[in-house]
């Protein structure tokens, strides 16, 4: 009867209890040679390559790749000689019992009478050296002399891999493919890919020092000898820079005003910053429906202008201007929106945003942006303002802090909406869309508590967007 062998889930380390077949490198029915890579097995910590220990055929795969984890000792596949009948493979699988189960099983009298005479037990090896039980079992079955073996385990303990390595023959090995290996490299402990690379470049693996487990030669070890060292000319080459003269562009009138105002603002205004975020999922859903029903194309920024207008009307302590030593409070919110025009940064104003609907604000902002792009903003379009919004979310900026636009008392910086994970009340995980908001505040005019109350009201409006239509 042809030789049939089981291929079971191996055990690497004391803590390993199960593993997953990540990928079969040999297909069912395919022949392989000793040293070929059979499969990749993932454990909780590593992914191991499993090499063939003899020339045979992968007769039957019982556990496909990419499935669930299986306990150590699970029958993964059956290895047999070429030409083994399928009936013999089926009979072997049907009668297979894991090593632990078979050891614990008890024979009945009938089974004992019908069973064949057991083969003589291998002679026991007497040694004082530290050795694993599996390694000792294999050494006894192979009548292996343990004295020459150098243990690679802790404190010199001989492992199963050490015994398997000692049993490797020193004969020449010719793996599948067109690249024969030199005789002196056949008994070297190296991966199949390392052998092929060495054969293709004429490298003697006997001269290569392996850096893998138990001195195994890997692909990287061989490639270090294949890659040429840098030449002396390239190592000493110098870089010669070319002329990098600047193009001088004087400030235009708008850029001069912006530069002067922002420089003065950063120097004279004592900024402080409050950061928060708002859940945006309800607003995104409502906006989609409202745009269809109302026939508008209101943007998220339009809803932000409306929400800021309502929140400022509720918290007039933030809806202010600072002029010299006086504080000007306003009943209605005139909100400036930062627009990057061809002539530079401009801040046209949506008047009385607290009194306008979202649809009216969408029309007003679209008109102001078109005028800014065309360079047709009038003085009345940019003069005044009690609050500003700077939105860089459309450029993928997640968070930033803006400089206050004097004489206003605060400015809101808006980042990009992004999906983030969160924990539900029942302990399960979910995803939601959040918008990062940073409020820059003039501490001369607005206290921290007043700014915090305003920001809390703003977040409440954004997270309950139906209130923006009242």
Question: Has residue 121 been placed in a domain?
Answer: no
Mean pLDDT, rounded, for 85-108: 70
Within a domain: 169: no
Question: pTM of the full predicted structure?
Answer: 0.50
**Average of per-residue pLDDT across 200-225:** 83
The more confident residue out of 237 and 320 is: 320
Domain assignment present for residue 125? The answer is no
In a domain, 445, yes or no: yes
Within-domain flag for 132: no
Greater confidence (155 vs 243) lies with 243
Least confident window among 261-270, 307-316, 374-383? 374-383
226 within a domain of the structure (yes/no): no
408, part of any domain: yes
- What amino acid positions are annotated as catalytic residues? 443
Give pLDDT, residue 69. 80
Residue range 170-194, pLDDT digits in tens: 544 444 444 454 444 456 778 878 8
Which of 69, 101, 133 is at the close of a domain? 101
pLDDT at 244 over 90: no
120 in a structural domain: no
SS3 for the chain, per residue? CCCEEEEECCCCCCCCCEEEEEEECCCCCCEECCCCEEEEEECCCCEEEEECCCCEEEEEECCCCCCCCEECCCEEEEEECCCCCHHHHHHHHHHCCCHHHHHHCCCCHHHHHHCCCCCCCCCCCCCCCCECHHHHHHHHHCCCCCCCCCCCCHHHCECHHHHHHHCCCCCCCCCCCCCCCCHHHCCCCECHHHHHHHHHCCCCHHHCCCCCHHHCECHHHHHHHHCCCCCHHHHCCCCCCCCCCCCCCCCCHHHHHHHHHHHHHHHHCCEEEEEEEEECHHHHHHHHHHHHHHCCCCCHHHHHHHHHHHHHHHCCCCCEEEECCEEEECCCCCEEECEEECCEEECCEECCCCCCCHHHHHHHHHHHHHHHHHCCCCHHHHCCCCEEEEECHHHCCCCCCCCCCCCECEEEEEEEEEEEEEECCCCCEEEEEEEEEEEEEECCCCCHHHHHHHHHHHHHHHHCHHHHHC
Q: Is the pLDDT of residue 401 over 70?
A: yes
Question: What confidence score (pLDDT) does residue 430 get?
Answer: 93
**What residues make up the domain containing 75?**
1-101
Domain limit, last residue, from 82, 101, 120: 101
State the average pLDDT for the chain.
83
Give how many domains the chain has, as a whole number: 2
CATH number of 64's domain: 2.40.50.100
**The predicted structure's pLDDT at residue 111:** 45
Which residue among 75, 101, 127 closes a domain? 101
């Amino acid at each position: 009867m042809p030789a049939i062998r089981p291929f079971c889930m191996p055990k690497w380390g004391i803590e390993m209890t199960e593993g997953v077949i990540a990928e079969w490198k040999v297909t069912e029915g395919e022949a392989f040679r000793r040293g070929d890579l059979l499969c990749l097995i993932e454990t909780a910590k590593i992914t191991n390559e499993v090499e063939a220990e003899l020339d045979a055929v992968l007769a039957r795969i019982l556990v496909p790749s990419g499935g669930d984890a299986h306990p150590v000792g699970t029958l993964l596949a059956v290895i047999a000689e070429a030409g083994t009948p399928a009936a013999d493979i089926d009979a072997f699988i049907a009668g297979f019992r894991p090593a632990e189960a078979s050891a614990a099983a008890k024979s009945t009298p009938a089974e004992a009478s019908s069973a064949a005479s057991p083969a003589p037990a291998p002679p026991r090896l007497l040694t004082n050296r530290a050795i694993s039980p599996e390694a000792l079992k294999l050494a006894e079955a192979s009548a292996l002399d343990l004295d020459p073996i150098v243990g690679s385990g802790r404190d010199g303990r001989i492992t199963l891999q050490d015994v398997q390595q000692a049993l490797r023959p020193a004969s020449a090995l010719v793996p599948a493919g067109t690249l024969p290996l030199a005789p002196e490299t056949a008994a070297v402990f190296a991966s199949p890919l390392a052998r092929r690379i060495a054969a293709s470049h004429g490298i003697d693996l006997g001269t290569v020092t392996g850096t893998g487990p138990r001195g195994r030669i890997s692909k990287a070890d061989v490639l270090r000898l294949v890659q040429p060292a840098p030449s002396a000319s390239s190592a000493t080459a110098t870089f010669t820079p070319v002329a990098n003269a600047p193009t001088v562009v004087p400030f235009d009138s708008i850029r001069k005003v912006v530069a002067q105002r922002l420089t003065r603002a950063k120097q004279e205004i004592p900024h402080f910053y409050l950061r928060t975020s708002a859940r945006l999922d309800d607003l995104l859903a409502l906006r989609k429906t409202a745009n269809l029903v109302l026939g508008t194309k209101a943007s998220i920024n339009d809803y932000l202008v409306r929400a800021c207008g309502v929140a400022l009307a509720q918290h007039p302590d933030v809806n202010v201007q600072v002029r010299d030593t006086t504080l000007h409070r306003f009943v209605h919110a005139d909100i400036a929106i930062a627009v990057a025009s061809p002539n530079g940064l401009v801040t046209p104003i949506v008047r009385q945003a607290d009194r306008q609907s979202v649809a009216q604000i969408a029309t007003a902002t679209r008109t102001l942006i078109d005028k800014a792009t065309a360079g047709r903003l009038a003085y009345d379009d940019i003069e005044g303002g009690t609050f500003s919004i700077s939105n860089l979310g459309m450029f993928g900026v997640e968070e930033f802090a803006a400089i206050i636009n004097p004489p206003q008392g605060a400015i809101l910086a808006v980042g990009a909406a992004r999906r983030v994970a969160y924990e539900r009340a029942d302990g399960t995980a979910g995803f939601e869309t959040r918008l990062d908001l940073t409020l820059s505040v003039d501490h001369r005019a607005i206290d921290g508590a007043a700014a915090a109350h305003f920001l809390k009201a703003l977040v409440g409006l954004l997270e309950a967007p139906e209130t923006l239509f009242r």
